[in-house]
Structure 1
Amino acid sequence: MTSSSISDPFPQRIVCLTEEPTEVLYALGEEHRIVGISGFTVRPPRARKEKPKVSAFTSAKVGEILALKPDLVIGFSDIQADIARELIHAGIEVWISNHRSVEGIVAYIRRLGAMVGAYEKAEHYAQRAEAHLAQVRAAAAQLSRRPKVYFEEWDEPIITGIRWVAELIGIAGGDDAFPELAREPLAKQRILANGDAVVQRQPDIILGSWCGKRFRPERVAARPGWDAIPAVRTSDIYEIKSPIILQPGPAALFDGLDAMHALIVDWAKRQG
C-alpha cells in the first residue's frame, strides 16, 4: 500500500524529529511516509539524501515543518517538549516517546510499526533485535571475567551513561560503573561533581560518546588523578560513535551493542 492510497488510514506524512523513528520506518519499508527528518540523522545514510532536514534536537524549523503538512510528528523526550507544544498549538498531531531502556526500545519498534499499519513487519524486526540481544548475552556469559565499564556521555560537566547504555554494557559482558545513576532519566541527574568518583570506581574500560563532538581519549587520560584508573594504565579508553549508542533506537541494539561487546571480549582475552 502506498502513501497515495486513499484507503490507507494510517499517517501518510510523518516528520521525524530524531533519528530512531526514521531508522525504524526505513527498516520496515515504510519510508515513503516520511516527509521530514532531523539534521542529526545518519542512519540510514540514504535518508539524508532523500528527505528534507527540518530540525535539530532542541530546536526545529517549525514553519518548514508546517509547510510539509504533516499528519504526525514524532519526537523524543522532555527536551523536545517546547517543539511539541508549538506544533500542537498549530494543530499538528505529535507523539513524543520517552523510553529509556533496552526493553523500551524494543517496545518502541512494535508501537511505531502498529501506528503506521506495519505491525507484522515491526514484530519481525523486534524479534530480530531480541534474538540479537540474546545471542550477545549468551556469548558474554562465556567470558572468564567481566570488566567494570565507565561510560561518559559528556565531558564538561562529566555526565555518566543513560539507562539503555548501562543495560547494553551488561548484555555485552561488562558491569556499569555507575548503576545507581543509570536509572536517572535526565542528563542533569547524572552529572558528577568531579572526576574523583570515577577514580574511586576503578573501571577496567572507559567508553566515551560525547554527543555532537569527537571523543578525546588523551584528554580523558590526562585528567588529574586518572592515571590511577586501570583503564587509563592499560589504555583501554575507546570511543563509541554517538549515532550507534546515544539514540534510543535499533542502532544501539545492533551496532552499539556489537561495538561494546567486541571491546569487552578483547579485554577479557588479555586477562589470561
Structure 2
Amino acid sequence: MGPRRIVCLTEEPTEVLYALGEQDRIVGISGFTVRPPVARKQKPKVSAFTSARIDEILKLRPDFVVGFSDIQADIAAALIRHGVEVWISNHRSVAGILDYIRRLGALVGAGDKANAYADGLQRGLQAIERDAAALPSRPKVYFEEWDEPPITGIRWVAELVRIAGGDDIFPERALESLAKARILEDPDEVIRRAPDIILGSWCGKKFRPGRVAARPGWHAIPAVRTGQLFEVKSPLILQPGPAALTDGVVEIARVIRAWAEQEGAAACRPRS
C-alpha cells in the first residue's frame, strides 16, 4: 500500500506522483508548485523552499514527507522530532532525476508505474540526443541561473545542454552541487570562453537579455553579437524533476537547433 498521506515540500514529488496517478495520496504541497497546474487548486500549500509551516503540516497528519537537498534539512529535522517519516533526496544529475522517480515510486508502493514512467522519460532524452547528433555543429552555451551575483548552471542543466546538442562552457562548475560554489567571481570569464548561446533562468524573476548584453565587455561575446540570448523559464529547468527532462530540455534543444540551422545557412551563403 505505501504511505497514504504525503506532504511534498518541493514541486518535483508532486509532479511525479500526479504523473503516476497517485495524486490522491498528496495532502500538502509547496507554495512554489506550478506543475501540474491543477495541484495548486487541489492541494493546500504548506511550505516554501527554505521554510515551512510545521504546525500546518502536522495538522494534515502526514505519514510521509518528501523534500529536497540540505537546504531543507532544518524542516526535515523539525518534522522528524514530531515523529514524522521524512525522505530528503539530494540528486543533482539527469541519472539522479531518473533514479529519484524510481525510488519515490517504490517508496509509495507504485514501483512498476514509476519504472515505466522513468523508462519513457529516458527514451525521450535518447531521441533528443540522436537528433542533436545530426546537427552540423555544436554551440558553446553559457547558462545563467542567477544574475546578482552571476551563478552558472547546475549539473543536470549542463547535462541537458549536452543532450540537446550544445556544450556548457563551465563544465567544471556544473559539478559543484552548491550555488555558492558556482558564483562567477570574474564575469569576464564568460567573455574569454566566448559562448555562442546564452540561456538565462533567473529563479523567481524574468530574464533580461538586454541587461546581460549591456554588461561591460560582453559586446564581444558571439552570443551577444548575434542576439542569441534566451530565457528558459525556471519551473521548466531548475527543478530536479520531470519538467527538466521534458519541457526544459525540449526548449534548450529548440534554441540549439535554430542556432545550428542559422549557422548552416550562413556557411552556405555565397561570398562576394
Q: How does 1:138-217 map to 2 (within 5 A)?
A: 138-217=130-209
For 1:74, the equivalent position in structure 2 comes to 66
What does the per-residue CA deviation read over 1:241-267, in whole Å, with 9 as the maximum and x for residues that have no partner? 000100000000000000000000000
Q: TM-score, normalised by structure 2?
A: 0.96
What does the per-residue CA deviation read over 1:74-100, in whole Å, with 9 as the maximum and x for residues that have no partner? 000011111111111111111000000
What does the per-residue CA deviation read over 1:90-140, in whole Å, with 9 as the maximum and x for residues that have no partner? 111110000000000000111011111111111110110010010000000
For 2:30, the equivalent position in structure 1 comes to 38
Aligned length: 264
For 2:86, the equivalent position in structure 1 comes to 94
Aligned partners of 1:81 and 1:62: how far apart in 2?
13
Q: 1:132 aligns with which of 103, 124, 128?
A: 124
User: 1:158·1:194 contact (CA, 8 Å) conserved in 2?
Assistant: no
Q: 1:48 aligns with which of 30, 37, 40?
A: 40
For 1:247, the equivalent position in structure 2 comes to 239
Deviation, 1:56, is 0.6
Deviation, 1:40, is 0.5
Q: Provide the aligned C-alpha RMSD in A.
A: 0.6
Which secondary structure state, in structure 1, belongs to the residue aligned with residue 141 of structure 2? strand
What does the per-residue CA deviation read over 1:200-243, in whole Å, with 9 as the maximum and x for residues that have no partner? 11000000101111111111011001000000011100000000
Give yes or no for the alignment of 1:257 onto 2:264: no
For 1:221, the equivalent position in structure 2 comes to 213
Structure 1 residues not aligned, in runs of 5+: 1-7
Aligned partners of 1:217 and 1:80: how far apart in 2?
32
Which secondary structure state, in structure 1, belongs to the residue aligned with residue 33 of structure 2? coil
Aligned partners of 1:74 and 1:106: how far apart in 2?
16
Deviation, 1:194, is 2.8
Q: TM-score, normalised by structure 1?
A: 0.96
User: 1:205·1:236 contact (CA, 8 Å) conserved in 2?
Assistant: yes
Aligned partners of 2:190 and 2:79: how far apart in 1?
41
What does the per-residue CA deviation read over 1:4-51, in whole Å, with 9 as the maximum and x for residues that have no partner? xxxx3x101000000000000000000000000000000000000000
For 1:107, the equivalent position in structure 2 comes to 99
Which secondary structure state, in structure 2, belongs to the residue aligned with residue 151 of structure 1? strand
Runs of 4+ in 1 over 2 A off after TM superposition: none
What does the per-residue CA deviation read over 1:36-77, in whole Å, with 9 as the maximum and x for residues that have no partner? 000000000000000000001011111100110100110000
Aligned partners of 1:179 and 1:259: how far apart in 2?
20
